[in-house]
Structure 1
Amino acid sequence: MPRSINRDTQLCMSLSGRPGNFGTRFQNFLYEALDLNFVYKAFTTKDLPAAIAGIRALGIRGCAVSMPFKEACIPLVDEIDASAQAIASINTIVNDDGLLRAYNTDYIAIRKLIERYRISPDTRVVLRGSGGMAKAVACAFRDAGFMSGYVVARNEEAGRRLADICGYAWAADASGLNAELLVNVTPIGMEGGAEADTLAFSREEVEAARMVFDVVALPVLTPLVRLAQLLGKPVITGAEVIVLQAVEQFVLYTGVRPDDALIKRAAAQALA
């Protein structure tokens, strides 16, 4: 029987320029499975200050924040967690009786994956991308002690800016950089995108690397991931990132941490 919504139901939401379904499916699956009186809905807005004021005024428990609002939200909240301070970007707001605290669970997820895969800080990282998510990924590697890295970006100004923040170097392409870990944080390979069938790194670069990390979540098996697996390289997928960061949001909203088996079921349903 479907859960009923009542006056005590707590609302969580997302704000994105282009709302998707992953968060809605993932969070609502867990609310129902754990019999929590919560509901989750995706929104967009053309009036960000009013939207954030509405979260505070209406007692909305939590809000996931996606592009293009991650930096613009900063002056609109009351407190900023270290995870968001580290990269001057937020992706989660938690409302505690009108006090808005901001976090970045993307950053938290990347740090957890670095630990999970026991990636040595001595590893030479080549990261492609210079947007908001690239900043979260690059800063997570920086703060985990990775000193040797390159930011590869088509936009030289943005690429150099991110490289400078992390103490890395900028490069126009990845050839000749002798990457040990290749990280794609661009839309290359994304389902439905203009470069859905494109490799984020060349076959030669993948062959030379020890490990590949593709932050693109849909599809899970991007062209880069498929090639890396074909070549027998260890792989971290974007699905792992999106699930981990969503779990951390769920915990912040509800105070409940689901077990691994339930998280796996929620992820399968949300990514289907």
Structure 2
Amino acid sequence: MKYIAVGNVIVFVLDIVTRGYATMMLMFSPSAVLHGQIWRLFTFILIPLNRFNPSRPLTLLWFVMSTFFYYWLGTSLERQWGTTRFNVFYFLGVVLNLILGFVLNVGVSMYYVNMSLFFSFATLYPDMQVLLYGILPLKVKWLAWFDVALFGYDIVSNLLSRAWAWALMPVVAILNYLIFFWEDLAGMLGRGRERAAYRTNHRTIQFKKAQKDIQQRKGYLHKCAVCGITDADDPNMEFRYCSKCNGYYCYCMKHINDHVHVQ
């Protein structure tokens, strides 16, 4: 991913110097490839998502932020997966885009494939907190759902405007993601069904009802057999039941490993 980020920087600078001519010569074009410009099969990967616009100075800021963000995502996934698996994921997205470009005879970009990196990161680290624009703290999974909404909006809007190729590009990126994470997603759905079945199980409902009755009757649910502290006295205290004691004896975290076993 670092080579792609460096390539983005180089093309961005060349675009400033050549007034966009560098991107014109590097972007994917089926007809140009068929006329011998083979380099376009690879160089379109290096075209930055945010091109410099002299009339909009903030494009430089957006370029720096987006390039650093995707570099961070890519290198994080590469550390987690290993370089080989990450390369297979990324270049499978490249190949799918090229197939789409040749079939529909249109130019394609890596915009949606780069965005799908965030889906992968959110699947691996859903509860990690990031600072949106360096200010607002948000969990990765919520940003991923926002990403899903953007994909859906782009698909629907392009279908309505009959821009079939642009409607299929996000679908291709999602397909690439599903190929790699289908088993993980199926496992998460299975665990979700198991948790739902557990919560609605008759024995679980009766057990929780019995716990609630005890708590209402005594004013607490757990009480340490050594010091007598209860969850009503300290709601943040954790309690455990000792498996070595002969009976149902509860202990606070201070005494679970420091008590005489009841025999």
More strand by share: 1
Specify the structure having the higher radius of gyration (Cα).
2
| Higher normalized contact order (CA 8 Å, seq sep 6+, divided by chain length) | 1
| Alignment TM class, shorter chain as reference | under 0.3
Relative to total residues, which structure has the larger helix share, 1 or 2? 2
